[in-house]
Chain A
């Protein structure tokens, strides 16, 4: 078997729609995950069991089961209940999955902003909410950025699992083309190229944000 370098170029354009799908699934999945994650983090640090217990259960289930199972489970259940398309299910699954991990990132960051910051703010007479928004969260976001960047990259790569529910993103596209043109290695190489391209952009972006934030008002 020979490796056909030409095929890398010839088939490249066929991947563009799939590359776009990967972006769409990842972007909305991450966005949903970030929102869910922040809300869950607040619920998780709440002392009220109504908030605390469900958030712990959610994190427990998501972290204890494979993402592929979650994708399949949500695909079949959402399809039968709400008649959701595969695409919507994939985004929801990726969001729900990442929400649990992002919640733990935010929770860790919020709690690591020492109790002292909350107490200093409260001792001035600030409400809990105001102290959270003005004093704790800005510092917690900053502290969470490296871990968030890492999680976003994981989410981007995990979007490939949506291939299991017929989403024609990069991985499924590569497999389908490879099966028909018998150039599986080459097709997987093209898909890999796109993933590397995306993850490089993410890494660069987060690096930029980090350095920008550490210049203005370091701890």
Chain B
């Protein structure tokens, strides 16, 4: 589904990603963990070409994406959704309008069909009764669920999540994680950056531990959490527990 080969990224002098190789298979849930500044967000943003990288390649659905080709990038983005830490809903549009904006404006879908799809996904995230509300009227947890519905309405083949719950009050984290668990159950391909270790253990097919721009270790949650092989992984896990 997503294949990353030899990805390297610099911010000016700062070498942030130092050769990342990663394959995400269809319907797989990959959770990326690691210390702050290790390059997790940057990796996610490179997969969606929100950041340009200097070396390596990213393949989406088997196709190598050319970073210079805006058209190709836009096409690719409509297949790979993204959910942000700070939701980034469109504040001047209603909840339903937020959700159908992608299908109507990017896919050129008719309004009626888009509304039908939009309502279907709003129902999925449990917010069908909020379709006329504006983002400012929602709680953080509800905002993030709308953002997930917005990504889903594009009917992508994978969704990237960058710390979807870390801007939320603790009591609102659960409702968002529940929606994500259901997505995993439905077979959605997901790449999730998170600090929620319990959640990672529960839904991840594979856990990837990153440090200083490299993948140090990866494996099933059992392998990584219970029997970490590398010393760096062990010391990270002992710090976050």
Q: Decide if A217 touches B91 in the complex (CB within 8 Å).
A: yes
Contacts of B50 in A (CB 8 A): 119, 122-123
Interface string of B44-75 (1 = CB under 8 A from A): 00001010000000000000000000100011
Q: Decide if B106 touches A124 in the complex (CB within 8 Å).
A: yes
A157 within 8 A of partner (CB)? no
Taking residues whose C-beta sits less than 8 angstroms from the other chain, chain A's interface range is 20 to 34
Contacts of A127 in B (CB 8 A): 70, 74
A125 within 8 A of partner (CB)? yes
Give chain B interface residues in 75-110, CB to chain A under 8 Å.
75-78, 81-82, 84, 86, 88-94, 101-102, 105-106
Number of A-B residue pairs at CB separation under 8 A: 69
A138 within 8 A of partner (CB)? yes
Q: Smallest Cβ distance from A24 to chain B, in angstroms?
A: 35
B229 within 8 A of partner (CB)? no
Give chain A interface residues in 190-213, CB to chain B under 8 Å.
none
Please name the residue on chain B nearest to A127 by beta carbon: B74
With known contacts A119-B50, A130-B105, A218-B136, A124–B92 Cβ distance under 8 A? no
Please name the residue on chain A nearest to B76 by beta carbon: A125
| CB < 8 Å neighbour of B105 from A123, A128, A134 | A134
16 additional contacts, CB 8 Å, given A117-B88, A120-B82? A114-B88, A116-B86, A119-B50, A120-B84, A120-B89, A122-B50, A122-B77, A123-B82, A124-B106, A124-B151, A125-B75, A125-B77, A125-B102, A139-B91, A217-B134, A219-B91
- Report which A residues bind B (CB closer than 8 A): 114, 116-117, 119-128, 130, 134-135, 138-139, 142, 217-219
